[in-house]
Every structure is written in C-alpha cells, then in structure tokens.
Chain A
C-alpha cells in the first residue's frame, strides 16, 4: 500500500477560514492526573432532558456508579467519577439554569463499581445503545448526545466515518494528547466502529500543525488491519474553524450539510478522537465517561499543562493543583478562546464537554469604532453570512431582513468578531439576532 494513497488531500475547501495563532504550547507535555478531594457533578451536561438523581445523601458510590438518568431519548446518563460517599444532592442556579448537583467526597481509592462489565457490540443499534450508556456527548461545546447521531432512520445509508482530530481552536491540545496517549484505544475503536458501521471509507482528519498526532494517526491508517484499504488520513490546512462539523464534512467528502440536518443525512458520521477512545474503553472495560483531559492554559496560568481530572472537579481545585494563576487573572473560559463560554466564578466544574480551561489576564478591551464596511466579517464567515448587514438590521429590529440574511445558519464560531478591525461585537450580534428571530416566531 503506497504512502501517497493513504494521505488524502481535502476534497473541497471552504475557501474561507482564519489563520489564528496556534499557541499549542502544551502539545509535547504529558498529561498529569489530578485526584480532587470532592467533586460536584451536575446532572445536566448535555442538550436535552436533565437527569434525575438516582442516589441520595449518605449513599456510597464507586467510579462508574450511575448517579443520574432520564428516560428521554435526547438525554445522557451521568456517573460518579470517584469512589466515596454522597455528601449532598442540591439544586443550585448554574449558568442561569436550576441544576441538580451530586456532591461526592472522594475516598481517594478510585474503586470501580463492581457492576461494571465489558459491553460488547455487534451492530449499529448496539453501538448507539453503548454510546448512550457510556454517557457520551458532543465534545465541541454544545453537548449534543452522541448516540442520536448514531441512530439515523432505518433507511439511511452511512458510507463515511469521519474521525475529527482537527482541534482548530488555539491553545487546546487535549485531543492532540489523546492521539498520542490514547493511541491503543483509538486504533481499536476506529477498526471496531468501522466494521460495525460497514462504511466504505474512514477519513481521519487532522490539521497539518500537529506533527506527532499525524504520525500516530498515520500508523492507524496504515495498520495491517486495514485489509480493504478503507482507512485514510486527511491532512487539513490549519485554518479556523476547520474542526466544525459542517466544515470537516465538506473538507472530507465535499458534501454540504444543510441547516438543521444531522451528518447522517449526508451519509456521514463524525466522531471526535476522544469520543472514539472513550467509547472503546467503555466497550472493553465498562467504565463510562467519568474523567476528561483538559488543557489548562491562558495568559494568567503559571504552569500550562494537560490535566486528566474527574468530571465534577472544581476549577478552583484544578488551579490550586496546577500551581496557581497570576494576581491579574480576570477571566475564565470553558473551552477555546474562539467559542469557549465564560464563567463568573472559579466554582464552576469540569463537565463532559469541557476540553480546555483558559484563564486570561485582565486586558483593556479594544474600543469599538464605527463599521467601515471592510467586509472582513463576511469574507471570513464559513457559513457565508454577512454580519455587517445583520448588525445594521438588528439595530432597527428589522426581523424580515434578519430572516433574509439567514442568521440561523450562524454557528457562532467567532470568526467575524475576531477579524473585525472596528472591534465590533459581531458574534454577539449574531447570537442576539438568532434569539430575536426565535422570540418573533413564538
């Protein structure tokens, strides 16, 4: 098998995209494990129905003990991430929503729940069921339960499995480290899922600024298990937002995912490398999603590093563990600098979808000046929208024009605000425009 045939060039390029600073300073550092004394696990970490607690104060729990579940299809179960005892089950306002938290004091032993057992899968239905049971949600930030993407209508033909290792946001290296440290699980996972889905093609997508990850992923694509030559590696130019689902599907297959559709509607299933590795570990050992590797980074962090922490670990505990932050630290972002969500206090916790925690020093925000219609926002928008026009229409609440401008296609990638020389808050404008239309349609 020739090397050239294994490495694919992008089928289509979106023709836009930003050159961002990479800032992948933690790429070569080994992940450090952190075991906090207590964890507070929120019972909603996904889009959909919240879970109901299945434990009460005083119960003893183990790693992988179910602590919250829901009967709804669009939901995802929550497991204990440590062994110890439940000290509280309480409802507090979190990110503007009343959220049930299960607080567990760790005994430090990390004993696994005795009921955990390997979960072999033979077909797509069982794979989707295992994905749900594992508690997997999309790691991109929205937290969409993964099993739904694996449960397309019966007659849907899936021909391509896309493994997303693009990791296009600056700073974040948690997927990069997963490629290196979780290599065995990724390779087994890729070949298992490939056989179960019976796809014609597996495309492992990675940006070309990740040399070590590319080496590992290339080994996966050239492994002798790939006897029918279906697994390919695709090196994508490092351009933001390359890892966004619609963009990566277009790069890998040339197919355009319409608004409101799932990847299965264009014959694709997209899975993140960390999702694959976690799912394979669950199938092999029965341990569900209970811990996450997060990149702790940012201008205020003293010792940037990747940390493997149980879900429910407080950010303040992680900061202390990692050697603190500067006195000037002023912002904490859950996720990358382009799409990450800000939090108001360090009491927030690591969730399933958290892949990075950025802590940034205080900065004087750049002053907004009038729009000079330079068109940079429109020319960088991967969805081909015109934020400058949206801003003008929103100012006069012209909802008919907002509708014409197709604001609902916006995925809030942040490119427009990043590029704007007048420093206008365009991504925020797009968000408000979408909310305005949603209110209008009610």
Chain B
C-alpha cells in the first residue's frame, strides 16, 4: 500500500458511460440511414457526407489549435454535427456549400458560444438554415432516386399520389440524403431509446402533434410524417441534449411546440418544409421551458408568507 493515499470526493465509483460513447452510439445508429442515402442517391451523396464530416472535424481542430484550447475532436461531437448536417442536405448540394455549412455549424453556432454544451441552438439545424437562406436555389435542388435526374418539385410539395407506403418507409423517393428512409431512422431512434440514450418524449410528442394537426386540417398525416425531414428532425435533432429541456414535462412542451410550428409552416406558410425552423425556435425557448418546468424538490413545502 502507498504511504500517502489519494483522497477524492465521493462517490468513489462511476458509471462507465462517457460523452464519447453516447456520440459514437448516435453515429452508429445514423449509419444505416446514411448508407441507404448513398445507395439511393449515389456518389454525390457520399461526397456531401464526407465533406460535411471532414470540415466539421477540421473546423473544430483548428479552432482549438488557434485558441490553444484542449483538443476536443476525440469526443466525436463534431462528427455527429457534420453527419447530421450532411444527412439534411440534398445530394446535389455543391461541395463548397456543404463544407461551408460545417464551418458555420462548428465555428459560429457551437464554438463561438463556448463549445460543446454551451450552444443555444442545434449547430447542424442552424447551419442548414443559414445555407437555405443564403443559397436557396442550390439548397432546394432534389433528385430522383437511382436516376439522378432533377425532380420537378420538392418532395413535400409534390402530390402524394405516386408515393406508396413502401417507398416512403424505405426511402426510395427524392429528399435530403438522410431523411428518406423512415424505417431506418425509426429503427435507429428505437435503439437510442432502448439504450436509454434519448427519452422518447420529444420524438413521440413531436410526431404525434404533427400527425393530429395534419389530420385535423385535412392533410394526409402519413405523408406528412414519412415524407420530408420530420422523423430525422424529431428523433435525432430535436432530442439534442444541449438544446432541448432536461425535464420530462419540458420535453413534452418542446415536442408539441415543434409539432405545432412544423405544421403551421407546412400548412399555412410559403415554405415547403418547417422542421428546421420549428426546432430552431424551440431551441431558443428551451431555457424558458426548463425554468417553467423545474421540478420541486422532494418534500418541498411552499413557505407561506403570512406577513
């Protein structure tokens, strides 16, 4: 035994789960959807994904290097951001634009606000919106699966008649690289829920509120759920720990809020898609939701002021 012992604060045992493991798990469950996107949309999709991931990691690396901060690329959070951004882009996105999106996500949205855990909005979502308003024509070019021909209309705006449930589930329709296969995305989400890495509250409340509102206003709820970016957004972007509430009731409010805004943009707005904006708006409301839903401690009694 050593003469001078180490004295550390309790507890003296820790769970083995690390931040890095959570990020790796998210990457792994997103891979099937990514591979599916590459199969459907070809080499273009692969190049877009590679450039968003590479530039996300490179941006983080150089930010840390220049600012003399401890290197943080090993936590894989930049990989997750790059991968999510890529999955949210059309396979026809010019590579410089895709790369610029990653730089914006990592440098502007994440690092300038203090790095991992301090960004107020989801980096991938925000970067996608920046690209969308900066390069609208490039960002809304979608292609037909396998053929690579430009599709005439954006997926959600097209009429739903030519989309069967099978096509919608397995993603053989136009859209962004990662959003098309509802089945693979839900499978990945289910793995995350079973492994207790995300709570199912946000995805379920988000998707359910979009479905209910669509049905109530005469839209086809199945098309609204399965086409477009709803599942990718609800399962993988809205559940981002940093930018969503930690309380269960807060998560419910967050999910329903996302659902209402998404529906409102799709149904009443001029934009074809509303998932990104909905999540961004709810990201900004997160601190307030969390404050509103902060739990009372066990055995708490309100001190009555009789004076």
A residues engaging B (CB < 8 A)? Answer: 14, 20-21, 170, 246, 250, 256-259, 300, 319, 325-327, 329-333, 337-346, 358-360, 362, 365-366, 369-375, 378-379, 382-386, 388-389, 405-406, 409, 412, 414-415, 417-423, 425, 427-428, 431
B interface bracket (residues with beta carbon within 8 Å of A):
35 or more
Contact B1 A372 (CB under 8 A): no
Which residues of B, 1-21, contact A by the 8 Å Cβ criterion? 1-15, 17-21
Nearest residue (CB) in A for B246 is A375
Contact A418 B14 (CB under 8 A): yes
Contact A373 B12 (CB under 8 A): no
Of the 9-residue stretches B40-48, B173-181, B205-213, B289-297, which lies at the interface with chain A? B289-297
Is there a chain A Cβ closer than 8 Å to B300's Cβ? Answer: yes
Bound-state Cα–Cα, A412 to B12, Å: 13
Least distance between B245 CB and chain A CB atoms (Å): 8
Given contacts A343-B5, A375-B247, contact A406 B300 (CB under 8 A): yes
Contact A421 B19 (CB under 8 A): yes
Given contacts A339-B10, A431-B9, contact A421 B299 (CB under 8 A): no
Contact B10 A384 (CB under 8 A): no
Given contacts A331-B5, A382-B298, contact A418 B11 (CB under 8 A): yes
Of the 9-residue stretches B93-101, B111-119, B150-158, B219-227, which lies at the interface with chain A? B111-119
- Interface 1/0s, chain B 269-307, versus A by CB < 8 A? 000000000000000000000000011111111000000
Q: Which residues of A contact B9 (CB under 8 A)?
A: 342, 417, 425, 427-428, 431
Least distance between B217 CB and chain A CB atoms (Å): 34
Bound-state Cα–Cα, A258 to B296, Å: 12
Contact B13 A170 (CB under 8 A): yes
Least distance between A267 CB and chain B CB atoms (Å): 14
Is there a chain A Cβ closer than 8 Å to B242's Cβ? Answer: yes
Contact B117 A372 (CB under 8 A): yes
Bound-state Cα–Cα, A147 to B237, Å: 56
Contact A342 B246 (CB under 8 A): no
| Cross-chain pair count, CB within 8 angstroms | 159
Contact A414 B10 (CB under 8 A): yes
A344-B5, A346-B5 are known; give 5 further A-B pairs, CB within 8 A: A339-B11, A371-B117, A373-B242, A382-B298, A406-B297
Contact B246 A409 (CB under 8 A): no
Is there a chain A Cβ closer than 8 Å to B163's Cβ? Answer: no
Contact A418 B15 (CB under 8 A): yes
Which of the residues B13, B14, B22, B298 comes within 8 Å of A383, measured between beta carbons? B298
Contact A340 B75 (CB under 8 A): no
Which of the residues B8, B18, B242 comes within 8 Å of A331, measured between beta carbons? B8
Least distance between A411 CB and chain B CB atoms (Å): 10
Q: Which residues of A contact B7 (CB under 8 A)?
A: 331, 342-344
Which of the residues B2, B12, B14, B19 comes within 8 Å of A333, measured between beta carbons? B12
Q: Which residues of A contact B242 (CB under 8 A)?
A: 372-373
Contact A345 B1 (CB under 8 A): no
Is there a chain A Cβ closer than 8 Å to B135's Cβ? Answer: no
24 sampled A-B residue pairs with Cβ under 8 A: A246-B299, A258-B301, A319-B1, A327-B1, A330-B2, A331-B5, A337-B10, A338-B10, A338-B13, A342-B6, A342-B9, A343-B5, A343-B7, A345-B3, A366-B14, A366-B18, A370-B115, A379-B248, A384-B297, A388-B246, A409-B299, A418-B11, A421-B19, A423-B14
Q: Which residues of A contact B296 (CB under 8 A)?
A: 384
Bound-state Cα–Cα, A428 to B211, Å: 45
Which residues of B, 244-258, contact A by the 8 Å Cβ criterion? 246-248
Is there a chain A Cβ closer than 8 Å to B241's Cβ? Answer: yes
Q: Which residues of A contact B18 (CB under 8 A)?
A: 366, 369, 421-423
Bound-state Cα–Cα, A338 to B11, Å: 4
Nearest residue (CB) in A for B1 is A329
Q: Which residues of A contact B246 (CB under 8 A)?
A: 373-375, 378-379, 386, 388
Contact A300 B1 (CB under 8 A): yes
Nearest residue (CB) in A for B18 is A421
Chain A residues touching B, majority SS: loop
Residue from A20, A358, A386 having most chain B Cβ neighbours under 10 A? A386
Least distance between A358 CB and chain B CB atoms (Å): 7
Q: Which residues of B contact A421 (CB under 8 A)?
A: 15, 17-19, 21-22
Bound-state Cα–Cα, A208 to B116, Å: 41
Contact A341 B6 (CB under 8 A): no
Bound-state Cα–Cα, A337 to B12, Å: 5
Which residues of B, 96-155, contact A by the 8 Å Cβ criterion? 115-118
Contact B297 A329 (CB under 8 A): no
Bound-state Cα–Cα, A414 to B115, Å: 27
Contact A360 B12 (CB under 8 A): yes
Bound-state Cα–Cα, A302 to B243, Å: 48
Contact B301 A372 (CB under 8 A): no
Least distance between B239 CB and chain A CB atoms (Å): 10
Q: Which residues of B contact A379 (CB under 8 A)?
A: 246, 248
Least distance between B81 CB and chain A CB atoms (Å): 13
Q: Which residues of B contact A365 (CB under 8 A)?
A: 8
Which of the residues B3, B8, B115, B298 comes within 8 Å of A246, measured between beta carbons? B298
Bound-state Cα–Cα, A47 to B248, Å: 38
Contact B10 A340 (CB under 8 A): yes
Q: Which 5 A-B residue pairs are closest in the complex by CB-CB distance?
A: A375-B246, A414-B11, A428-B9, A256-B299, A329-B1
Bound-state Cα–Cα, A246 to B80, Å: 41
Contact A427 B11 (CB under 8 A): yes
Bound-state Cα–Cα, A365 to B3, Å: 19
Q: Which residues of A contact B301 (CB under 8 A)?
A: 258
Least distance between A355 CB and chain B CB atoms (Å): 15
Least distance between A269 CB and chain B CB atoms (Å): 18
Contact B118 A325 (CB under 8 A): no
Q: Which residues of B contact A409 (CB under 8 A)?
A: 297-300
Least distance between A422 CB and chain B CB atoms (Å): 5
Contact B241 A374 (CB under 8 A): yes
Bound-state Cα–Cα, A430 to B270, Å: 49
Least distance between B240 CB and chain A CB atoms (Å): 9
Bound-state Cα–Cα, A405 to B290, Å: 13
Contact A370 B10 (CB under 8 A): no
Contact A344 B11 (CB under 8 A): no
Least distance between B265 CB and chain A CB atoms (Å): 26
Q: Which residues of B contact A406 (CB under 8 A)?
A: 297, 300
Q: Which residues of B contact A383 (CB under 8 A)?
A: 297-299
Q: Which residues of B contact A378 (CB under 8 A)?
A: 246-247, 295
Contact A342 B21 (CB under 8 A): no
Least distance between B237 CB and chain A CB atoms (Å): 15
Least distance between A27 CB and chain B CB atoms (Å): 18
Q: Which residues of B contact A418 (CB under 8 A)?
A: 11, 13-15
